[in-house]
Amino acid sequence: MMALLSGLAVLPGCKRGETASTGKTENPQTWAPEKLASVQGVPATEIEALIQKKLDGPKLDRIDDDQWGHTKRLYKIYGSNPLWLTSNGLHQTRTKA
């Protein structure tokens, strides 16, 4: 689970409102992350706590300050919800956005 969460910090380098798989534009005002109870049996509260711990720590070396700030803002806006997860694991469309 920690490997998955480590990778989440770099995902927010997305293009605003564009989905990679379809090339269609999403309205960022209407998209909201799924409120999850668990992801593959791991309680969502545990995942959210790990995400928050990562966000409170130092940025990863492989991302720049702008990406790190964007990541922190996204998780703050969406209440530390696991933005790129579904109850079955990675949300494939969102991870490619």
91 domain residue, yes or no: yes
61 domain residue, yes or no: yes
Rg (CA), the chain: 13
46 domain residue, yes or no: yes
pTM of the predicted model as reported, rounded to 2 decimal places: 0.62
Q: The domain containing residue 82 runs over which residues?
A: 39-97
Side-chain-side CA neighbours of residue 77 (13 Å): 13
44 domain residue, yes or no: yes
In total, how many domains does the chain have?
A: 1
6 domain residue, yes or no: no
Residue 50: how many CB atoms within 10 A of its CB?
19
pLDDT at position 8 is 55
pLDDT digits (tens, 9 = 90+) for 45-85: 999 999 999 999 999 999 999 999 999 998 898 888 888 88
Separation CA 48–CA 45 (nearest Å): 5
82 domain residue, yes or no: yes
5 domain residue, yes or no: no
24 domain residue, yes or no: no
